[in-house]
Chain A
Amino acid sequence: MIADLALYCGGVLLILGALFCLLAAVGVVRLPDLYTRMHAASKAGAVGGGLILLAVAVVSMDAAVFLRAIIGVLFLLLTTPVAAHLLARASYLTGYRPSDSTKRDDLKTRLEQNAEA
């Protein structure tokens, strides 16, 4: 019975993670500029991949596999935001401006202050 319960939970987590991945992909195509696209890719994408690895951990019912899957989730949650931040910084510094609907640009004021100092 408990084994069946783990399988049901794993299936639900798997579909949920897949839906998050699809949401991230749709966001990357639909949003107006690179910086808003980055929100979709790094947040929804990391959660989607993490939920699927969590599903593998729940379904396997094996301590070694469970530990590896959890390490995979932690690794994904640590590295995806770092990669997105590096990419955003690189593209900002090479002159890619946010879309016109962006109201606040903190990095711009920071860079101007640095230029004056």
Chain B
Amino acid sequence: MTGAAFLDLSSLVALVILGLALLVSLVRIVIGPSLADRVLALDLMTVVAIGFIGGIAIRTGLMLYLDIAIALALLGFLATVALARYIIRRGLKVDQPQEEARP
């Protein structure tokens, strides 16, 4: 197996795994239970999307995708910081989550 063929196969496998990771973190965004959980899952989703873009950059050979990934990292950080500020400013004791099932 040549290097190029191996890279082609491994980038395909990595993109499938990253797609699974996106789906799994979507579960946490849907079930909550609090706003902070959803923000955390969105933050993770941004990082996974950065990885996805990296995989696409390797697969297509277009390294311009890397700039998109860096811009997305900046955007994700700013979004999380802004949402954390929003959670603080929304006030105390508003967002008490329901009791979760203990394992």
Please state if A94 and B51 are interface contacts (CB–CB under 8 Å): no
CB contacts (< 8 Å) of A99 on chain B: these are 100, 102
CB contacts (< 8 Å) of B10 on chain A: these are 10-12, 14-15
Cβ of A71 to closest chain B Cβ, rounded Å: 7
Q: Does A112 contact B (CB under 8 A)?
A: no
CB contacts (< 8 Å) of B88 on chain A: these are 90, 93-94
Size range of the chain B interface in the assembly:
35 or more
Total contacts A-B at CB 8 Å:
208
Please state if B34 and A17 are interface contacts (CB–CB under 8 Å): no
A interface residues, tally (CB under 8 Å):
62
Main secondary structure of the interface of A (DSSP, over half): helix
Q: Does A115 contact B (CB under 8 A)?
A: no
Which residues of chain B (72-103) have a CB below 8 Å from chain A? 73-74, 76-77, 80-81, 83-85, 87-88, 90-97, 100, 102-103
| With A37-B37, A45-B47: A32-B100 Cβ-Cβ less than 8 Å | yes
List 10 additional contacts besides A21-B47, A90-B85, A99-B102; criterion CB under 8 Å: A14-B58, A17-B14, A22-B18, A22-B21, A22-B24, A26-B24, A52-B50, A53-B51, A53-B66, A96-B95
User: Can you list 30 A-B pairs, Cβ within 8 angstroms, ordered by A?
Assistant: A7-B3, A10-B7, A12-B10, A15-B13, A17-B51, A18-B14, A18-B18, A18-B55, A25-B48, A28-B25, A28-B44, A32-B100, A37-B37, A45-B43, A52-B50, A52-B51, A53-B54, A55-B58, A71-B70, A76-B73, A79-B73, A86-B80, A87-B84, A91-B36, A91-B95, A93-B88, A94-B94, A94-B95, A95-B93, A96-B34
**B residues touching A (Cβ–Cβ < 8 Å)?**
2-4, 6-7, 9-11, 13-15, 17-18, 20-22, 24-25, 27-28, 34, 36-37, 39-41, 43-44, 47-48, 50-51, 54-55, 57-58, 63, 66-67, 69-70, 73-74, 76-77, 80-81, 83-85, 87-88, 90-97, 100, 102-103
